Chains A and B, each alone.
Chain A
Amino acid sequence: MDRLNELINIILGIHVDMTWFLVLSALMMFIGIYGFLTRRNTLAILISVELMLNAADINFAAFNRMLFPEGQEGYIFALFSIAISAAETAIAIAVMINIYRNLKNNFVANLDKLKW
């Protein structure tokens, strides 16, 4: 019990500054890029891309909160980019459903009609 209390105190005592957010968003960005390049299912690729877009949104919110708290520009930008990425995802999923209807699966390896 003592050790648990100690751990909680340590966690509560951590001061979360800019760096934490930047490291998180950079990690998310590169996990997204890695996923985009390695996934074999188009839906998984789409999820990876969403990670990339959200990484940028975290950046906007963190910069606004920590560095420029007098304005709202970053928050507004993050809001708009969330709406736009939702629109993009919607149309990407529509395209994938169309592919699924034709092929009965969604793997990148089967998208091979157009080559070279």
Chain B
Amino acid sequence: MDYSQFLYMHDEISLIAVIVILFLADLFLCGDRKSGTVSKALSLLPVGLLALQTAYIASALLCPCGDGMSEAFGGMYQNTPVMTLVKVVLNVGTIIVFLMADSWMKRPENQIKVGEFYMLTLSTLLGMYYMISSGHFLMFFIGLELASIPMTALIAYTKNNQESAEAAAKYILTALFSSGLLLYGISLVYGTCGTMYFDELAAKFSPADTLQLAALVLFISGIGFKISLVPFHLWTADTYQGAPTTVTGYLSVISKGAAAFVLFTILVKVFQPMVEQWNTIMLWIIIFSITVANLFAVRQNNIKRFMAFSAISQAGYLVLGVMGGTAQGMTSLVYYLFVYMVANLGVFLIINVTEQNSGKINISDYNGFYQSNPKLSFIMTLCLFSLAGIPPFAGFFSKFFIFMAAFNAGFPVLVFIALVNTVISLYYYLLIVKAMYIVKNDAPIAPFRSDCYTKTAIAVCALGVVLGGIVSCIYGYIDTLSYGL
């Protein structure tokens, strides 16, 4: 066996190195945890290591050797520059989540399990890496499960909280159900084709084969659970509400974005001959996701639950890029993922810092938030405007590009329905803005100062929201890397 092919997976191996270093640091550096003397180094170490690793991966993008494509283990592992780019985007999101988690990790009840949080999060990230770079259904399945099993432990992280345990139970049971469906679909692919390598599969598919159609439907429903598209979204709101806020932020952006990107690459690469069939399926899924989630979001009062329905509808917009499977679709999907990530994490940062300082998570608690915390309300408004797609924020451009991609792929009616839904979504995003600025409240949330980690993260998100759309070279750069049918 040629061991040098392990070097092709340098993204994954560097992440494993980070996990191992953190594990050892957690073991030896922390000393006496009970007395709360966890060294300050441990809160800075994960962020620093992950930033280093991100720089390492990104360096492969900046100075590409050859065309940047690599393949290992007979095609089981495949990597292209755009996959590396998605990994970098996911990494940036994880760094923001780590910065967000810091004040929560410093609470006395979490002191004994700080290391576990970082290791579980990085394990799910590793699973997403393998899922993105898979070239075989076995690799894809293992990556998917590696991304969802530690996630359950993260959701149930606050052990004595009944809501957290309930959210984890709902998550793991639906995740198991969806992987059962997915596995059955993969077995049908194997039965009809005799292979599971992505490179060989496309030639063996034909739209006339009903077993393969069943496999396609089972595959889409299995991965639809992970992206939480309607009608596979029923776990989303409960899990998002019950999970710790930091984990909800991670769940709503990073695991969703990775799954959406993988849906694109596998549909384009493996289910290529059935493009008409999956276009029809995705069309209805997208229409239902956007509309149903918007209607439910309007009537929420808990802000995490509200963000859950907002995230379902945003997932619908995200997979608009899948329609037709064009190169433009992939570009706009990755761009949308980036922009959605900074805006959504910005909102979650403020929800989290408010919850840490005052314990309040209802939308009505935010009445008069502007009087007491003007800066935070301003940033939150920027992020909500970006999510709603108001120019000149990045959200407008990402929505515009993704609509363009779907329109050029030949789905004008779908784009029209999505546009109408953008107006509805503007209404409920503005409800929060109205609560913060206009509604009078005699006892608003008391003014508080956020810690420097949160401040850094908020600054990054605000910069991303403001500059992400105006700096046009970002979209242009993604466009040079992407590919389609």
B180→A49 contact, CB < 8 A: yes
CA distance A36 to B225 in the complex (A): 16
The answer to whether B162 and A103 touch across the interface, beta carbons within 8 angstroms, is yes
Given contacts A96-B169, A102-B165, contact A59 B187 (CB under 8 A): yes
Q: Which of A45, A64, A68, A102 has the most CB of B within 10 A?
A: A102
Q: 1/0 per residue B152-192: CB within 8 Å of A?
A: 11001001101101111110110111011101101110110
B242 within 8 A of A: yes
- The yes or no answer to B323 lying at the interface (CB within 8 A) is no
B166 pairs with A114, CB closer than 8 A:
yes
- Cβ contact within 8 Å between A67 and B176: no
Q: Please classify the interface of chain B as helix (H, G, I), strand (E, B), loop, or mixed, using the class held by over half of its residues.
A: helix
Give which listed residue, B138, B163, B184, B194, contacts A77 with CB less than 8 A.
B138
Q: Is the CB of A91 within 8 A of B184?
A: no
Q: In the complex the two chains form, is B173's CB within 8 Å of A45's CB?
A: yes
Q: Is the beta-carbon distance between B191 and A67 smaller than 8 angstroms?
A: yes
Is the beta-carbon distance between A73 and B241 smaller than 8 angstroms?
Answer: no
> Interface size of B by Cβ–Cβ distance < 8 Å?
41
A59 touches B191 (CB 8 A): yes
Does the CB pair A53–B145 fall under 8 Å? no
Instruction: Write the chain A residue with the least CB distance to B191.
Output: A63
**Which A89-106 residues have C-beta < 8 A from chain B?**
91-92, 94-96, 98-99, 102-103
Within 8 A of B (CB), among A61-81: 63-64, 67-68, 71, 73-74, 76-77, 80-81
In the complex, chain A residues 1-35 whose Cβ is within 8 Å of any chain B Cβ: 25, 29, 32
Interface of A is mostly: helix
B172, A88: Cβ atoms under 8 Å? yes
Q: Chain A residue with minimal CB distance to B148?
A: A88
Residue of A55, A63, A67, A68 with most partner-chain B CB within 10 A: A63
A residues near B191, Cβ cutoff 8 Å: 59, 63, 67
Give the residue name and chain of the B residue nearest to A26 (CB).
Answer: B184
Q: A68-B194, A88-B176 are in contact. Are A95 and B169 (CB under 8 A)?
A: yes
Query: Do residues B162 and A113 form an inter-chain contact, with CB atoms below 8 A?
Result: yes
Residues of A near B176 (CB, < 8 A) are 46, 49, 53, 85, 88, 92
A81 CB contact (under 8 Å) in B141, B153, B188 = B141
Q: Check A53/B163 contact, CB under 8 A, given A42-B173, A114-B241.
A: no
Q: How far is the CB of A20 from chain B (nearest CB, A)?
A: 14
In whole angstroms, what is the CA distance A74 to B152 when docked? 28
Q: Is A109 an interface residue (CB 8 A)?
A: no
Q: Please determine whether B169 and A113 come into contact, CB atoms closer than 8 angstroms.
A: no
For A32, the chain B residues whose CB sits under 8 A away are 180
Cβ 8 A contact of A95, one of B141, B156, B187: B156
Distance A115 CA – B301 CA, assembled complex (angstroms): 12
CB distance from A111 to the nearest CB of B (A): 5
| CB of B142 within 8 Å of the partner chain | yes
Please state if A92 and B187 are interface contacts (CB–CB under 8 Å): no
A88 & B149 in contact (Cβ 8 Å cutoff):
yes
Docked-complex contact B238 and A114, CB < 8 angstroms:
yes
Distance in Å: Cβ of A67 to nearest Cβ of chain B: 7
Partner of A59, one of B152, B168, B169, B184: B184
Least CB distance from A57 to B in Å reads 8
> B177: which of A52, A84, A94 is its contact (CB, 8 Å)?
A52
Contact across chains for B141 and A84 when beta carbons are under 8 A apart: yes
B350 CB–A CB distance under 8 Å? no
- B168 cross-chain contacts in A, Cβ below 8 A: 95, 98
12 other A-B residue contacts (CB within 8 Å) besides A88-B176, A95-B152, A95-B169: A29-B184, A46-B176, A59-B184, A60-B187, A77-B137, A77-B138, A77-B190, A88-B175, A92-B172, A92-B173, A95-B172, A111-B169
User: 18 A-B Cβ contacts within 8 A?
Assistant: A29-B180, A29-B184, A42-B169, A46-B176, A55-B184, A56-B180, A59-B184, A73-B195, A91-B152, A91-B172, A92-B173, A95-B172, A98-B156, A98-B165, A102-B160, A103-B162, A111-B170, A114-B167
Listed in ascending order, the chain B residues whose CB lies under 8 Å from chain A are 137-138, 141-142, 145, 149, 152-153, 156, 159-160, 162-163, 165-170, 172-173, 175-177, 179-181, 183-184, 186-188, 190-191, 194-196, 237-238, 241-242
Interface residues of A (CB under 8 A from B): 25, 29, 32, 36, 42, 45-46, 49, 52-53, 55-57, 59-60, 63-64, 67-68, 71, 73-74, 76-77, 80-81, 84-85, 87-88, 91-92, 94-96, 98-99, 102-103, 111, 113-115
